[in-house]
């Protein structure tokens, strides 16, 4: 299985987790708990998914096709 497909699958699972969390949060009556989960859990899930999607897009655009050059390889040795 290629890496793009694996990362896209992980993104889909993060989306499902976020949707599940939204449904659970609908039943939270305590505003403090709701805000805590919203600010510290849900926002982190959304952030992770956003950055994962950006990485997948970059991968699809060929950004990571070339092997990065090690800085030591660029230095001339005496």
Question: Does the residue 37 lie in any domain?
Answer: yes
Could you please report the per-residue DSSP string of the chain? --HHHHHHHHHHHHHHHHHHHHHHHTT---HHHHHHHIIIIIHHHHHHHHHHHHHHHHHHTTTT-SPPPPHHHHSPP-
Give the percent of the chain with pLDDT over 70.
83
Structural domain range at position 42: 3-58
Asked, for residue 70, whether it belongs to a domain, the answer is no
User: Taking 70 as the threshold, does the pLDDT of residue 67 lie above it?
Assistant: no
Instruction: Identify whether 72 is part of a domain.
Output: no
Name the domain count of the chain: 1
Considering the chain, what percentage of its residues have pLDDT values greater than 90?
Answer: 76
């Amino acid at each position: 299985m290629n890496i793009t497909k694996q990362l896209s699958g992980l993104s889909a699972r993060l989306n499902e987790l976020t949707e599940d969390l939204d449904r659970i949060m609908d039943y939270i009556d305590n505003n403090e708990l709701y805000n805590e989960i919203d600010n510290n859990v849900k926002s982190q899930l959304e952030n992770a998914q956003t950055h994962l999607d950006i990485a997948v897009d970059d991968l699809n655009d060929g950004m990571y096709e070339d092997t990065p050059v090690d800085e030591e390889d660029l230095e001339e040795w005496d």
